[in-house]
Amino acid sequence: MRLKDKVAIVTGGAHGMGEAEARLFAKEGAAVVIADLLTTQGETVAADINAIQGRARYIRSDVASETDWQNLIAETIASYGRLDILVNNAGISGSAVGDPDGLEGWHKLLAVNATSVFLGTKHAAAAMIPNGRGSIVNISSIIGFVGSPDSHPSYAASKGAVRLYTKAAAAKYGPSGIRVNSVHPGYMPPMLNATNAAGRASKIEATPLRRLGEPIEVAYGVLFLASDEASFVTGTELVIDGGYIAQ
């Protein structure tokens, strides 16, 4: 087991990529805390994991709230005694806000996609420092590298912020034994669930592997960075996009 006896928090762990990460982490031996606002889905994922002799619990949490982060870290340590891994997975797309080109939409996208990463990293690192080690994995996007006419500029700004913040955090927390890396998924469900058939076809055509990705393919990349196999990897980006930005 690649995460035997580790304790991990996965934000946005009730669905999509976060759910795939949470289930895979549990399979690999970690105790997993699923942090999300989707209570029914989060409790279901935790129950499923516990039903197959894994260890998991759901904690309702708003990743844009510092108070919620403080409570999440405290409850995790109270339940499992420590924190080894944080996956800052929670995020929203431009279509999740009323007007992504308006000031309110800008603030919402930055709060959920970028401020949450700052808050999570800050509080998780504080919990990890006494142990002298830890791994933080921040989920960005290929849109953290390149612009796209199909993505809102405010979304790109939020994901670009995650990319560079990750590097700065790696430099800051490295001396304490804490690794911080970012993962940049390409096009895949559920992110494209609201996209019409023509839009999906265009994304496939633009991807050298000529298909969409799957959440589990991202989860395995996150697993590597979270594990001790990546013990000398920090401040870097793992792109999982079927070759999209290689062109």
Our answer to whether residue 173 is catalytic in this structure is no
Q: State the residue for tokens 């996209």.
A: 195
Eight-state DSSP code of residue 157? H
For residues 16 and 218, is the Cβ–Cβ distance under 8 A? no
CA–CA distance, 168 with 151 (Å, rounded to integer): 25
CA–CA distance, 175 with 169 (Å, rounded to integer): 11
Measured over the CA atoms of residue 183, residue 239, residue 157 and residue 99, the dihedral's sign is negative
CA–CA distance, 82 with 130 (Å, rounded to integer): 10
Eight-state DSSP code of residue 29? T
* Catalytic-role residue among 155, 173, 187, 244: 155
Integer CA distances (angstroms), 30 to 40, 84, 246, in order: 22, 9, 34
Number of residues that this document lists for the chain: 247
Q: For residue 39, what are its two tokens?
A: 């209570």
Q: Report the DSSP beta bridge partners of residue 7.
A: 31
- First-last CA distance in the chain: 36
Question: How many of the other CB atoms lie within 10 Å of CB of 97?
Answer: 20
Catalytic residue numbers read: 155
